[in-house]
Amino acid sequence: MRIRTTVTVLVLAVIAATAAILLTRPVAAPTPVSAPETSPAPLAAVRHPTEPHRPAPIPAHGSGTFTVDPSAGPLLGTAGRLRRFHIAVETTVADGLPDFTRIVDETLGDRRSWIGDNQHRFQRVPANAAADFTIYLATRDTAYRLCRAGGVNIRVSGVPYTSCRRTGAVVINYDRWRLAVPDYTAAGTPLATYRAYVINHEVGHELGHGHVPCPGSGRAAPVMQTQTLGLRGCVANPWPDKDGH
């Protein structure tokens, strides 16, 4: 019994000594954790990666059929001869009838356009009303056929490249509508500027205006200059001047 008691006392003494050492040993501080600079977004707000936006492809071949805007537009201009027109978009193109109609109306209704000299007025009329001419938006091959039927060849290096005017029709090439031309894009000129130019240029032919050259390097290109084929040193300009150039 005395031996067991001695062993027990020794064990208790060792435990007590160990506890005393642990209590007096310094304890390292916990490593701080950096808080995020901003609170994490709620799960519902986390957006998964998506494919980058890709513009709709530009078809070279179209259906050859057109949708004519069924609505009537506002009277554009305050004085001069009134010319009524239809808007027709090939069913194959992606932009759609409403956008093309809006841009044509805005362009021809701008006081910088042909109505500015008070000699011309325009009005879009529905499909069932008589019109003096039609403004078409057509894929390049369809544009070629429409223009060629009026005796106009729009090919450049074998590709239907430009737009045209033939009797009773202004034909806008969808390639140019979507891509503009190198001289415009190289200068950072907005696509909307080219679109205004090509509408005013081809409608200018409908009004009886012919082509004119660049008047000099650094000057504004006349709207009846063939800007699609090069600015020739002139600066892009989509609007007619007071003399119809």
Q: What is the pLDDT of residues 119-140, one digit of tens each?
A: 999 999 999 999 999 999 999 9
pLDDT of 243: 61
Tokens of 135: 């403004």
pLDDT of 24: 39
Summarised one tens digit per residue, pLDDT across range 67-82 is: 999 999 999 999 999 9
Instruction: Please name the residues in contact with 110: beta carbons below 8 A apart, sequence gap of 6 or more.
Output: 116, 196, 239
* Residue 172 phi, psi dihedral angles, 5° rounding: -100, 120
Contact 233, 215 (CB under 8 A): no
For residue 206, give the nearest of 155, 245, 163, 168 by alpha carbon: 168
What three-state secondary structure class fits 50? coil
pLDDT of 55: 59
* Residue 81 phi, psi dihedral angles, 5° rounding: -65, 135
Contact 103, 195 (CB under 8 A): yes
Sequence spans of domains, the chain = 66-229
pLDDT of 242: 59
pLDDT of 43: 29
Tokens of 114: 């042909």
- For the chain, list residues with pLDDT below 50: 1-53
pTM: 0.77
CATH number for the segment(s) 66-229? 3.40.390
* Chain position carrying tokens 């609007």: 239
Helix (H) or strand (E) holding 172: strand 169-173
